[in-house]
Amino acid sequence: MPEGERKQADYRKWALRFAEEFADDQAKMWEEPQSRGELNEWRAKWKNSPKQHDYAGTVAVRILNWARDEGKIASHFCDRLHRIYSVDRAEIVWTDADQRAFKDAAPFWVKPVMTLACETGLKPADLVRLTRGNLESFDGIDRFRVRTQKRGRVAHIPVTPEFRQLIDETPADQLVLLVNDRGKPLRPTPASRAITRYRDRIADKLSDPTLRLQDTLGTAATRLLRAGLGLNQIANHMDWSLRYVAAVIEHYAAVSPAESAEVPDLLEREKQRREGKTVNAIVNVPDGAKRGES
């Protein structure tokens, strides 16, 4: 099932559970402060599964927000529910040694998945849609133009040497860049599962046995910086904050010995460039505007 359809199915499932639980209650109950406790008591049924616990609350609040916006209720007291699931994998990255070990063990059709993920930072749903048709040349520089599925944003991804080699090695009659072992277009879920399957076979050789496809983002962020993208462009591409992008790149460079001093230097120059723009913008603001005058 495509990622979008799976999310819709999950949302529908939890919406129905919410509706069934509160079917006998009047909508007006949500305008009372005590209703927050009622909702928390309902989602506590899944407290042993933090992700489900939090998702139950997310869906419920979306429904209540819709009811408020449509005038079905005047207000509700369920905003900003406490969440119990949290995960930060910023420090879990595929080092150069991890990537080499994986590619040595993976079959021919899985290796390009790892390469593309490390070179682009795209999510599986976007990786599997890449074709030569995404390739364009701008000011003599080759890049891939991609509209991401999750947010509909347009990303312009530089074609690094590794990316170029993958494109050149892809058969001319192959529509998409990623295919399965039968030569058919690869789907997002099988792509992620393939990485997990062959990761498990070499878990004892990896820096972290829980590595997954999405953990290539630290590698990708570093590659994109080296290819000439600014921190703001990388942040927009990956839907991260500027501070988080800088932290991930610094960490990746630190844990990957093959990364030279070039990466910290590039990062520092980019930070200074960005800070310089901010200072110039402030200095160049008209005096009246600084005082709030119109």
Kindly give the confidence (pLDDT) of every residue in the chain, 294 residues in length, as a single tens digit, with 9 standing for 90 and above. 445 577 788 899 999 999 999 999 999 999 999 999 999 999 999 988 888 999 999 999 999 999 999 999 999 999 989 988 766 676 788 988 999 999 999 999 999 999 999 999 888 999 999 998 888 887 778 888 888 876 777 888 888 888 999 999 999 999 899 999 999 999 999 999 999 999 999 999 998 898 999 889 888 888 888 888 888 888 888 878 888 888 888 888 777 776 666 777 888 888 788 777 644 544 454 554 443 443
H/E run at residue 157: strand 154-158
pLDDT number for residue 96: 87
Out of 3.90.79.10, 1.10.443.10, 2.40.30.10, 3.40.640.10, the CATH code matching 96-229 is: 1.10.443.10
CB 251 within 8 A of CB 90: yes
270 by Cβ neighbours in 10 Å (0-12 / 13-18 / 19+) ranks as buried
pLDDT number for residue 287: 52
CA angle centred on 160, ends 155 and 166, rounded to 5°: 100
218: nearest Cα among 154, 263, 162: 263
Q: Which amino acid is at 288?
A: G
**Any idea where the domains of the chain sit in the sequence?**
3-69, 96-229
pLDDT number for residue 8: 86
Please give the Cα distance from 5 to 187 (Å, whole number).
Answer: 13
